[in-house]
Chain A
């Protein structure tokens, strides 16, 4: 008989029956201390992911578990949990429950124009940067919030670490339980973890204005905090640095935001400073799973899978990037992929637009291969262990906090319902109805005017919405009244067979032994009724077990492949280094031999192995042979000035000197412009900081190894460079109310004089000095360990910088853009600079009004080593044509013209011993052109880097076909997703993946493409 437990339900009508009295608090009224012992009997208790007890008893007392399968104490309130499952409550490490997240207030204004804020506006003895606030302790601000906690309890959570999700160093998070007692009781651990991110949040201070700035700030703060331990008198008291040091003893949780590569960036910082981060992740980490696994970091995975895009309109479908469609399909597989790869992870509800989606998405992940044991671990034991509270939370064991929830079924099944979530031994009802399943065979009687009519009754279906069928004993046909159960109250109604308009209405209550009540039949007869059990129904729930199967084989489902990078043109299988023979090509060596006709080139192990005519060779299948007849082979193009493949902003404009920031920290290997430029023969790009300040950031030379991880893109062993800039940009010309020094070219000189003088003095300081990353980089310049490439236009300032350099004993390695270089070519020659310019840009701003297309030719004729650069994602695809313009404008000879985009940039980047010409022993970074390489009719057929073919015009056709097929498949899938009722109101509109177009300045706006944006931080 299932009709029982009613008394227990009746015990509580409210979320909580009473509040605990706190000893120190005065009482207004009568004290109401209770014993608070509960016994949960006949339950399936999932103690943890590994251990499940059948038909077990759980006893709790005053918020703690005091025993499992012990005799039920006399004083216990007994709750029969037959058919029920008891789970340890989930724990979320990344929550802002009970905290207020501040938002950025409007920035400082000056006569309606934006003014920079240089230091923190937080009052008190804190640090200089407003985004570094390790002194924030969220437990001090914690307030229970029933609206939020109720939602979290409804999805199985019992405890969270909550922190104020604001700033780069966010201070400490507190471990709290999700009851609604006084905060004093819910707070379990005041400082459970310290939190960090790359996002400056509400800080109104300008610095950092970029992702690389945020990274630099974190680095410098580590150093400053270390130094602060020596109590430097020059610093006074710095509460922020003190707190930073204190927080290092806690578990460190780093929020990487929504970019998978931030995981690698955070890990790099961790390794640099001996920290161990728990990374709060994103849904796209699977796209770089191997690299992320290699970090060995603990990861918190969110379940905020992207919603389906509405692509019903074919024009909308066109603009949605294949990568976004694929991600929609693959994101729910991420947890399973992590499990398969044996990466340790916890799960979080953070990031979901509605917490209700949590269980749905969790089950989706299970459906897509995540095992139930791992899922449970990731929500209980693992998070508890990471924050060192597994002795208190995370499983159902004697002595632990009584945090658990009760369900009707395996929680990972779609049909599972959470009835109650007990927090610290207090009951919170999630769902009243359905606790009891009334399914079974019954006898139903109607008594009217002394006669009793008997029916066979059956109740079946979902316990929440049971269905009743009645069949008179004498009849063979059943009918189906509507049965409504509300807690203990029942309504039954049906219409007459013959006349649907006539209703029979009964009501009653659920009693201990039977259901009974009264009612009116359609003909007006007053009746009483009764429903009682025919026989005991087998409880088939009791044998259910936690599904411990390993991830399901998903071979029957077609899903996308992870491609590298995660982009339409990404590789399923990365191209490999090959043994390549290029037969009978015209070879532009860039060496003394000049242009060699009908020549063979052998590439092996990433190097140029042999150059010659009719090289005798025994070919076998291991060779890739390319017929070069009628084609031209040149060294790969090197772009001295590029801003592709950078994320989070290229400019750290917020200070005049930002030599501490590094482009190498923020590489974006997914930028489609890498592939596009490969198609134009580019093999290496020098990625520069922008030009908004006199001393910009450290640059990064990369090879365009499409598909590789950020670190693998870097040009090995290349010298470090740094971006400098002069002129209109650095004096903030476009800002009508500039308050950042300098505002004139006069000030620019003094910025340099001051910066280098500080660096000179800094070097003289004793070893225990405060290490300053900004001055370190400047000192490297003085010591000729780091080299300048300086954005420059006007002759006066070019001259000035050379004089500053002379004073400090170094050479300005490269003047880039250098559009008035022709006016001071003699001086630059004398100083020993290299020059890198545009072919024909001018008149887009005041300081380029005297720019001339003959600039490169004059400088070349003056004996300078000249490069032609792009500074432009579009133009970089045809730098060979830009070089050819020097033939038109100034009559540069063809070989010299080609060198301007190959050997000459290699020289100025100090890598001409490795690349830039076709010479035995050099890196096999070469391009095979369809035509004379300087002709407008020339196309790259193969672009080869390290002997690996990264661009192949034939293969490109294949890639495009694959894109079309894959996109068509996903569009169909998205369309059928839209038809599902569950998708109603949940589709996202189609959006283009915007090209991130970085340029070093905002005033040479080039029409690149329809959908573009400048990267924003």
Chain B
């Protein structure tokens, strides 16, 4: 393994500053990765398999066999995974948490329907490289603030600018359910006011907003264009779920254009959010969902999917199972709920997504299920499963190669990554500083 690191480092040595870590050029030649354990992402594993991709798309996945006339990269002993997807992050909006000047996460205002994360997404963020080199290739960039934070967009993590980065634009609107449980003693202590009232009042205003939006849409040519209403049309609009598929003779599958992301943790918060979505026939996705395991049947009945914040959290109450956050994915899986695992850690900055999934695997999920929670499940929830999330023919060649089990830090070691067939750099600022001081101390 040490040798692999050395090889890797040799590859990186050419680059000696973050500024010369270039986004990769379009895939020109067909590439085959061979002799590896291929984790398709749909639960299937191919031992000693090979994957062939061309012009950015996967063209073949099968057991390894000799192949001529294309570039072959021998990945003997390695594991190949779909590019990992982080389902909610402030990547590119938050460069250094404590420095206001480099924060573009939280806009002022209560109902920011028309605020778009994508335009602030900084492709030159030094954080991005540290995710990419861990195999995280796709991210959903989520704005914060207000009760309606605005829209998130999905990006791929190897781009010159946000336009290049875009993978799916404005794909969801974020509703932050106000706290329904007093979290601070003195709020609850006041008996004069109902601690929930303020929250319910805020939600009522949002409800009014959506009713007004519906009324606005009923007018064919409104006198005044309302940017906020225009921005959430997608919540009410059904579109072709798989635009690349020829539906001839088959009933077209439709999906709602924009997801309704409900940021909620406790049972009541989740239920209020889901009922709100039902009222307007939105597509609900719970984000956070610390207590989602307590109401799995309800979530199932209402076809709600869940993006869990991260496994590396403390239990909600001191009487809870101390491992409850680790076990929640398993309980959702058992209940047949579509869920993804996230990593919103503000200190390690999102690069431990894979180890959060690994923890879920230690507490009930199979490794393939844990992998799905950061690949295909996430893709399905984000509405990009037509393009990515598994290593299946026809999908984008978003591929990660690790020398060992990618979910376990002691073996997780990414040696190649491809986004849309482009071999992306695994270099980053941290590796460069590592090199700099190895050079200083003359150590290997």
**B314 in complex: contacting residue of A822, A897, A935, A1008, CB < 8 Å:** A1008
Are A935 and B410 closer than 8 Å at their CB atoms?
yes
Chain B neighbourhood of A1012, CB < 8 A? 314
Chain A neighbourhood of B351, CB < 8 A? 840
Are B437 and A823 closer than 8 Å at their CB atoms?
yes
Q: How far is the CA of A728 from the CA of B351 in the complex (A)?
A: 25
Number of interface residues of A (CB under 8 A): 81
Are A825 and B441 closer than 8 Å at their CB atoms?
yes
B312 at the A interface (CB under 8 A): yes
Q: Name the interface residues of A879-929: CB closer than 8 Å to any CB of B.
A: 881, 884-885, 887-888, 890-891, 894, 897
Chain B neighbourhood of A502, CB < 8 A? none
Q: Name the interface residues of B57-104: CB closer than 8 Å to any CB of A.
A: 95-99
Are A937 and B408 closer than 8 Å at their CB atoms?
yes
Q: How far is the CA of A823 from the CA of B266 in the complex (A)?
A: 45
A862 at the B interface (CB under 8 A): yes
A850 at the B interface (CB under 8 A): yes
Are A322 and B316 closer than 8 Å at their CB atoms?
no
Q: A841-B347, A843-B126, A844-B346 are in contact. Are A1009 and B185 (CB under 8 A)?
A: no
B407 at the A interface (CB under 8 A): yes
Are A1004 and B97 closer than 8 Å at their CB atoms?
yes
**What string of 1s and 0s marks CB contacts (under 8 Å) between B282-295 and chain A?**
00000000100000
Chain A neighbourhood of B181, CB < 8 A? 315, 319, 992, 1011
Are B318 and A845 closer than 8 Å at their CB atoms?
no
Minimum Cβ distance to chain A for residue B417 (Å): 15
Closest residue of chain A to B414 (Cβ to Cβ) is A888
B348 at the A interface (CB under 8 A): yes
Chain B neighbourhood of A264, CB < 8 A? none
**What string of 1s and 0s marks CB contacts (under 8 Å) between A842-868 and chain B?**
111110011011100010011000000
Q: Name the interface residues of B1-21: CB closer than 8 Å to any CB of A.
A: 1-2, 5
Are B312 and A568 closer than 8 Å at their CB atoms?
no
Q: Name the interface residues of B334-375: CB closer than 8 Å to any CB of A.
A: 344-349, 351-352, 355, 358-359, 361-362
Are A321 and B317 closer than 8 Å at their CB atoms?
yes
B237 at the A interface (CB under 8 A): no
B322 at the A interface (CB under 8 A): yes
Chain A neighbourhood of B313, CB < 8 A? 874, 1007-1009
Closest residue of chain A to B294 (Cβ to Cβ) is A318
B430 at the A interface (CB under 8 A): yes
Are B322 and A675 closer than 8 Å at their CB atoms?
yes
Are A846 and B98 closer than 8 Å at their CB atoms?
yes
Closest residue of chain B to A679 (Cβ to Cβ) is B322
Are B361 and A862 closer than 8 Å at their CB atoms?
no
Chain A neighbourhood of B189, CB < 8 A? 991
B188 at the A interface (CB under 8 A): yes
Q: Name the interface residues of A234-272: CB closer than 8 Å to any CB of B.
A: none
Are A1009 and B349 closer than 8 Å at their CB atoms?
no
Q: How far is the CA of A875 from the CA of B356 in the complex (A)?
A: 12
Minimum Cβ distance to chain B for residue A960 (Å): 6
Are B317 and A936 closer than 8 Å at their CB atoms?
no
Chain B neighbourhood of A733, CB < 8 A? 98
Chain B neighbourhood of A935, CB < 8 A? 408, 410
Minimum Cβ distance to chain A for residue B78 (Å): 15
A427 at the B interface (CB under 8 A): no
**B265 in complex: contacting residue of A318, A875, A936, A1010, CB < 8 Å:** A1010
Chain A neighbourhood of B2, CB < 8 A? 891
Are B312 and A321 closer than 8 Å at their CB atoms?
no
Closest residue of chain B to A951 (Cβ to Cβ) is B322
Minimum Cβ distance to chain A for residue B318 (Å): 4
**B409 in complex: contacting residue of A569, A884, A960, A1006, CB < 8 Å:** A884
Chain B neighbourhood of A679, CB < 8 A? 322-323
Q: How far is the CA of A733 from the CA of B98 in the complex (A)?
A: 10
Minimum Cβ distance to chain B for residue A357 (Å): 16
Are A932 and B410 closer than 8 Å at their CB atoms?
yes
Minimum Cβ distance to chain A for residue B292 (Å): 12
Are A1010 and B183 closer than 8 Å at their CB atoms?
yes
**What string of 1s and 0s marks CB contacts (under 8 Å) between A962-995 and chain B?**
0100010000000000000000000001111111
Are B290 and A1007 closer than 8 Å at their CB atoms?
no
B217 at the A interface (CB under 8 A): no
Chain A neighbourhood of B1, CB < 8 A? 891
Q: How many A-B residue pairs have CB under 8 A?
A: 195
Are A734 and B98 closer than 8 Å at their CB atoms?
yes
Closest residue of chain A to B316 (Cβ to Cβ) is A1010
B195 at the A interface (CB under 8 A): yes
Closest residue of chain B to A676 (Cβ to Cβ) is B322
Q: A840-B348, A878-B312, A1007-B345 are in contact. Are A852 and B318 (CB under 8 A)?
A: no
Chain B neighbourhood of A858, CB < 8 A? 434, 437-438, 441, 443
Q: How far is the CA of A935 from the CA of B97 in the complex (A)?
A: 30
Chain A neighbourhood of B316, CB < 8 A? 319, 1009-1011
**B182 in complex: contacting residue of A728, A843, A991, A1008, CB < 8 Å:** A991
Chain A neighbourhood of B290, CB < 8 A? 1009-1010
Chain A neighbourhood of B438, CB < 8 A? 858
Minimum Cβ distance to chain B for residue A612 (Å): 28
Are B314 and A1009 closer than 8 Å at their CB atoms?
yes
Minimum Cβ distance to chain A for residue B195 (Å): 7
Q: A878-B312, A1009-B314, A1009-B316 are in contact. Are A956 and B322 (CB under 8 A)?
A: yes
Closest residue of chain B to A1002 (Cβ to Cβ) is B98
Are B317 and A992 closer than 8 Å at their CB atoms?
yes
Chain B neighbourhood of A844, CB < 8 A? 96-98, 346-347, 349
Q: A891-B1, A939-B362, A1013-B184 are in contact. Are A993 and B99 (CB under 8 A)?
A: no
Q: How far is the CA of A218 from the CA of B182 in the complex (A)?
A: 36
Minimum Cβ distance to chain A for residue B320 (Å): 9
Q: How far is the CA of A853 from the CA of B412 in the complex (A)?
A: 14
Minimum Cβ distance to chain A for residue B102 (Å): 9
Minimum Cβ distance to chain B for residue A205 (Å): 23
B315 at the A interface (CB under 8 A): yes
Are B312 and A875 closer than 8 Å at their CB atoms?
yes
Minimum Cβ distance to chain B for residue A985 (Å): 9
Minimum Cβ distance to chain B for residue A391 (Å): 44
Are B318 and A568 closer than 8 Å at their CB atoms?
yes
Chain B neighbourhood of A995, CB < 8 A? 314, 318
Chain A neighbourhood of B99, CB < 8 A? 845-846
**What string of 1s and 0s marks CB contacts (under 8 Å) between A819-837 and chain B?**
0001101100000000000
Closest residue of chain A to B265 (Cβ to Cβ) is A1010
Q: How far is the CA of A792 from the CA of B205 in the complex (A)?
A: 47
Are A852 and B346 closer than 8 Å at their CB atoms?
no
B127 at the A interface (CB under 8 A): yes
**A852 in complex: contacting residue of B95, B347, B433, CB < 8 Å:** B433
A323 at the B interface (CB under 8 A): yes
Are A884 and B410 closer than 8 Å at their CB atoms?
yes
Chain A neighbourhood of B347, CB < 8 A? 838, 841-842, 844, 872, 1004, 1006
B44 at the A interface (CB under 8 A): no
Minimum Cβ distance to chain A for residue B361 (Å): 7
Are B409 and A845 closer than 8 Å at their CB atoms?
no
**A891 in complex: contacting residue of B5, B182, B310, B345, CB < 8 Å:** B5
Closest residue of chain B to A858 (Cβ to Cβ) is B437
- New A-B pairs, 8, CB < 8 Å, besides A569-B318, A1010-B316: A318-B267, A846-B99, A853-B130, A861-B441, A935-B408, A1007-B346, A1011-B181, A1011-B316
Pairs A–B under 8 Å by Cβ, sample size 7: A321-B319, A843-B95, A846-B98, A854-B433, A861-B443, A937-B408, A1006-B346
On A, residues with C-beta under 8 Å from B are: 315, 318-319, 321-323, 567-569, 672-673, 675-676, 679, 728, 733-734, 822-823, 825-826, 838, 840-846, 849-850, 852-854, 858, 861-862, 872-875, 877-878, 881, 884-885, 887-888, 890-891, 894, 897, 932, 934-939, 956, 960, 963, 967, 989-995, 1003-1013
On B, residues with C-beta under 8 Å from A are: 1-2, 5, 95-99, 126-127, 130, 181-185, 188-189, 191, 195, 265-268, 290, 309-310, 312-319, 321-323, 344-349, 351-352, 355, 358-359, 361-362, 407-410, 412-413, 429-431, 433-434, 437-438, 441, 443
Closest 3 CB pairs of A and B: A1009-B314, A845-B98, A936-B358
